[in-house]
Amino acid sequence: MKKSLLLTVCCVMLAFGLRAQIPALERIEPMFWWAGMANPNLQLIVHGNNIASRQVQLSYPGVKLVAVHKVENSNYLFIDLKLFSGIVPGTFPIKFVKKGEKDLTYSYSIKARNHDANRIQGVTNKDLIYLLMPDRFSNGDPGNDTKTGMLEQGVNRDSMYARHGGDIQGLMNHLDYLKDLGVTAVWMTPEIENDEPHASYHGYAVTDYYKIDPRYGTNELYKQYVEKCHAMGLKVIKDLVHNHIGTESYLIKDMPMKSWVHQWPKYTNSNFRDMAVEDPHGSALDKKIMLDGWFDHRMADLDETNPYVQNYLTQNHIWWVEYAGIDGFRLDTYPYNDAAYMAKWAQDVTKEFPRLSIFGETLVWSVANQAFFVQGDKVNRGFDTHLPGVTDGVVKDAIIETLNGKESWTDGVNRLYAVLAQDFLYADPTKNTIFLDNHDMSRFLSTVHEDYAKYKSGMAMLLTLRGVPQLYYGDEILMKGESNPDGLVREDFAGGWKGDKANKFTAAGRNEKENDAFNYVRKLANYRKNTTALQTGKLMQFIPQKGIYVYFRYDDKKSVMMVYNSNEKEASTTTDYFAERINGAKKAKNVISDETINLDKLTIPGKSTLILELLPATK
């Protein structure tokens, strides 16, 4: 606590105490912009030693200097520009003039916008997302492992919290592996600069919003990565953090104003209770601590009611989409953000990029809690959040309970049935991202106690239920680990580093069971990729009976039947009860084994799942 309090106090003091160390014109952000954006307004943030003492001059056809804002810290100016329609791309000088001193000049560029309609594709329920941590996936360029001047130096793969050296080039080297697996969209944890002294490999303590962390690569390499993904038929999701910022950012070490972050008399963590935001009977103090408390002593909580903060974040996110052509955003710690701003943010970014997809991390404990944050009026929040979907942690928990729990009226196999029955609370539940684990929780295989039958059943549910499925790196090759401490679920992907004893990217480097798991996931993922019923088809589920849970995904092309046996021992069921969806079919193809079976009676091993494509009834 003492360390945290000292850091908070230092942040406030540093906001006005670094002038002697700052160049006269340190930076302008965004560094450049584009002609023809839907929003003609642009706000530049200028940082430099006592830059507010200078006058701003610029002249370029189609650009109007609307206002220059001076704030508490004289090391900042905020410049409002308006870019008129028809502006011709080009470069012009912005001058910072002070009598008796040499002019400071920045050459600002307005670039031509990319109007390729297919460039930004969006991520939908037709996709399978692969989540990875770039530091832990593959080291494609050992030359960037250490960068002079950064606070954390070197790599140490024996330490779970040190950097291990994975990078963007390493991911690019293995895109063919993901393509073969059946993946259609790639999500990296944040790849922008996290220049913190320790354990910043995860990416969620941003120190430079406009710069790829040099230990991962460069901005240009990131753009090439997106282009390579698109050329291979893969989409790209970028992970965003609205709520907090790394304390080593220039925006914290030399804050524009005290209200850039939430200030407290002493260091105050968030209470991490989403209910404080949702509760109609709740305490105002509890809600304030939830929203305004810091996420961590190295993650300062941004004040998103500050219009300068809003402009800065929104423009940065728009900048990355236009610059690199990414397809979707995952929004970290969504419930901790200012709700009004996030609704406006969603409107602003989708106005520029209508096909861009967004989904928010919620990790709450009930369907109602999740639905509270999504778009529409199914849950009475009082306004539309414009958030299409969330990371569906409630479905994840229900799948785990279905696999591990003992059957009762609401538990065991009945939990998943009950959770899906509440989909009426969402404007569109198919836009939720469903998953079995991620970088913040125990790996799925460990959660099911390394029971291989449960593992396969969980993977079957992930790839056949409604929503957008997300697979965590290494789950397809049976990586395991508990989340306490969290570093145990962030191990390196074997084979991603030169000299690794085994290369799990290849069949030859995997053992028999790992290959069986990989082939199972690949078979089902590629079947899903070619089966619209599992992508956009309707879902019909039946009340579990004697521990057997049956649901269907179907459209006018195919019907796929999933049968899960939650019992420890083999069980059988007749199919008469499901006639409404079987619709006269007598036979089905086992999607995994490709064998044809009769539908009159099904026998399922304990804790196992059958995935059956119904074959048309013959006359």
pLDDT tens for each residue of 505-537: 999 999 999 999 999 999 999 999 999 999 999
* Domain assignment of residue 179, yes or no: no
Residue 16 has pLDDT above 80, yes or no: no
Residue 17 has pLDDT above 50, yes or no: no
Question: How far, in Å, are 214, 397, 469 from residue 149 at the CA level?
Answer: 11, 43, 40
The confidence band for 18, taking pLDDT boundaries of 50, 70 and 90, is low
| Residue whose entry in the numeric block shows the structure tokens 């236009």 | 322
**Chain-wide mean pLDDT for the chain?**
95
Domain boundary among 298, 324, 350: 324
What pLDDT does 12 receive? 43
* Domain assignment of residue 364, yes or no: no
pLDDT (tens digit, 9 = 90+) per residue, 318-340?
999 999 999 999 999 999 999 99
Residue 11's nearest CA partner among 76, 77, 70, 73 is 73
Q: From CA 482, how far away is CA 50, in angstroms rounded?
A: 50
Residue 317 has pLDDT above 80, yes or no: yes
Query: What mean pLDDT comes out for the span 486-499?
Result: 95
* Domain assignment of residue 542, yes or no: yes
- Residue 355: partners with Cβ closer than 8 Å, 6 or more residues away: 120, 121, 122, 327
What pLDDT does 332 receive? 98
pLDDT (tens digit, 9 = 90+) per residue, 137-150?
999 999 999 999 99
Question: How far, in Å, are 400, 403, 419, 436, 569 from residue 411 at the CA level?
Answer: 11, 10, 11, 18, 19
Residue 87's nearest CA partner among 42, 43, 45 is 42
Query: What mean pLDDT comes out for the span 72-93?
Result: 98
pLDDT (tens digit, 9 = 90+) per residue, 388-431?
999 999 999 999 999 999 999 999 999 999 999 999 999 999 99
> CB neighbours (10 Å) of residue 385?
20
Q: Which two tokens stand for residue 336?
A: 């901790």
Domain boundary among 324, 345, 372: 324
Tell me the three state secondary structure of residue 463: coil
CATH number at residue 289: 2.60.40.10
Q: Is 303 tagged catalytic? A: no
- Residue 115: partners with Cβ closer than 8 Å, 6 or more residues away: 36
Choose, from 208, 301, 352, 361, the residue flagged as catalytic: 361
Residue 385 has pLDDT above 90, yes or no: yes
Q: From CA 250, how far away is CA 15, in angstroms rounded?
A: 9
pLDDT (tens digit, 9 = 90+) per residue, 573-619?
999 999 999 999 999 999 999 999 999 999 999 999 999 999 998 65
Q: From CA 46, how far away is CA 27, in angstroms rounded?
A: 6
Check: CB of residue 618 under 8 Å from CB of residue 590.
no
The two beta strands, 571-574 and 601-604, are antiparallel
Choose, from 152, 239, 332, 476, the residue flagged as catalytic: 332
* Domain assignment of residue 388, yes or no: no
Q: What is the DSSP letter of 545?
A: B
- Residue 294: partners with Cβ closer than 8 Å, 6 or more residues away: 4, 8, 244, 262, 264, 267, 268, 269, 270, 300, 301
pTM, full prediction: 0.96
Residue 20 has pLDDT above 90, yes or no: no
Strand order through the sheet with 63-70:
27-29, 41-47, 76-83, 63-70
* Domain assignment of residue 418, yes or no: no
Q: From CA 135, how far away is CA 213, in angstroms rounded?
A: 11
Work out the burial of residue 218: count CB atoms within 10 Å of its CB; fewer than 13 is exposed, 13-18 middle, 19 or more buried. middle
CATH number at residue 573: 2.60.40.1180
Q: Which two tokens stand for residue 248?
A: 């080593």
C-alpha of 424 from chain center: 25
Query: What mean pLDDT comes out for the span 106-122?
Result: 95
Residue numbers of the domain that contains 552: 538-614
Percentage, residues of the chain above pLDDT 70: 96
* Domain assignment of residue 262, yes or no: yes
* Domain assignment of residue 336, yes or no: no
| Residue whose entry in the numeric block shows the structure tokens 């906001």 | 15
pLDDT (tens digit, 9 = 90+) per residue, 538-559?
999 999 999 999 999 999 999 9
Cis check for the bond before 605: say yes or no (omega within 30 of 0).
no
Hey, which residues does 93 pair with through a beta bridge?
A: 107
Domain boundary among 269, 301, 324: 324
What pLDDT does 486 receive? 84
Q: From CA 459, how far away is CA 607, in angstroms rounded?
A: 12
Q: At 368, which helix (H) or strand (E)?
A: helix 367-371
* Domain assignment of residue 264, yes or no: yes
Strand order through the sheet with 55-58:
32-34, 104-111, 90-97, 55-58
In the chain, the amino acid numbered 33 is W
Q: From CA 332, how far away is CA 342, in angstroms rounded?
A: 12
Check: CB of residue 468 under 8 Å from CB of residue 474.
no
Check: CB of residue 504 under 8 Å from CB of residue 494.
yes
Q: Is 352 tagged catalytic? A: no
Residue 380 has pLDDT above 90, yes or no: no
Task: Count the domains in the chain.
Answer: 2
